[in-house]
Amino acid sequence: GFNLKHKPFDDIRVRKAINYAIDKQEIIDGVFLGLGVNITSPYKPGTRWSNPALKPASYDPSKAKALLKEAGFSDTDSDGVLERDGKPFEFEIITNQNKEREKSAVIIQRRLKEIGIDVKIRAIEWTSFISRFINTGDFDVVILGWGLGLDPDQYNIWHSSQQAPGQFNFLGYSNATVDKLLEQGRTELNPIKRQKIYHAFAKQILADIPIVYLSAGYSLTAIHKRVQGIASPTPPAGVAYDSHKWFIPKPYRRNQISAN
């Protein structure tokens, strides 16, 4: 995610360029061993709230370079790093001490170097990460991940009113259309209308690029063969969605096994 209050990330051309310059499939294959999928919204693909009409940006460094040139960046001294207004294009990616995020940052660093952006990486212990950097807004770019419940509400993350220290819109994102959609989504009871609201919300977020979606990871779940009642195929909400229906047949229960 970009700190939208820091230049040059307030320029959508720069955000688009960085999006084009990152090979998401390379991250999925190299970091997650292929156990992931490219995404276009905060919602899990295949669920009601995921907008199937949205398409991810392809890996295209040529488009990235063209956008940066349009935004006023050029390598005037031929040192491999772009400049604008006499300042080199350099920034820091911060993340918590999560090895998958650190590895993702290294891949991003290498790809951005290829288009003339100098990136430093800092991995920070979680408490300091939140208190020193996130809550104060003292960062350029952050790599994080999140999981959602069954309800699609994203008000706390994306509404423009949620930008005070300690609140979740720490990127400084503000869009009146998104604000209205998030407000409507909280009060709309009709599931079809609500779906349309969150599809429109996801479309606007994707267009504004306050974040670059890297991937949604698959989870590997191991369940003992004694357990029965597991839904097949796996529900979009996850294998444990209806776990209250799971059971172990009497002959296979441990107390029954030991008694025999």
Please identify, in words, the CATH class of the domain defined by 12-220: alpha beta
| Residue 128 reports pLDDT greater than 80 | yes
Domain boundaries, the chain: 12-220, 223-260
CA distance 170 to 1: 9
| Residue 257 reports pLDDT greater than 60 | no
Average pLDDT, the chain: 93
At 233 the pLDDT is: 76
CA distance 104 to 107: 5
Output the pTM of the full model.
Answer: 0.87
DSSP secondary structure letters along 134-185 = ITTT--SEEE------SS---HHHH-TT--STTSS-TT----HHHHHHHHHH
Q: How far is CA 223 from the centre of its chain?
A: 28
Q: Between 249 and 3, whose confidence is greater? A: 3
At 220 the pLDDT is: 75
Counting beta carbons within 10 angstroms of the beta carbon of residue 60, is it exposed (0 to 12), middle (13 to 18) or buried (19 or more)? middle
Q: What is the pLDDT of residues 79-88, one digit of tens each?
A: 999 999 999 9
- The stretch 124-135 carries a mean pLDDT of 93
Percent of the chain with pLDDT over 90: 78
Q: What is the pLDDT of residues 108-121, one digit of tens each?
A: 999 999 999 999 99
Cβ–Cβ under 8 Å, residues 164 and 15: no
Q: What is the pLDDT of residues 9-68, one digit of tens each?
A: 999 999 999 999 999 999 999 999 999 999 999 998 888 999 999 999 999 999 999 999
Percent of the chain with pLDDT over 70: 97
C-alpha dist (Å) from residue 200 to 53, 174, 177, 179, 196: 10, 16, 9, 12, 6
Strands of the sheet containing 141-143, edge to edge, are 118-124, 90-96, 141-143
- Which of 51-55, 190-194, 221-225 has the least mean pLDDT? 221-225
Which band of pLDDT confidence, cut at 50, 70 and 90, is reported for residue 237? low
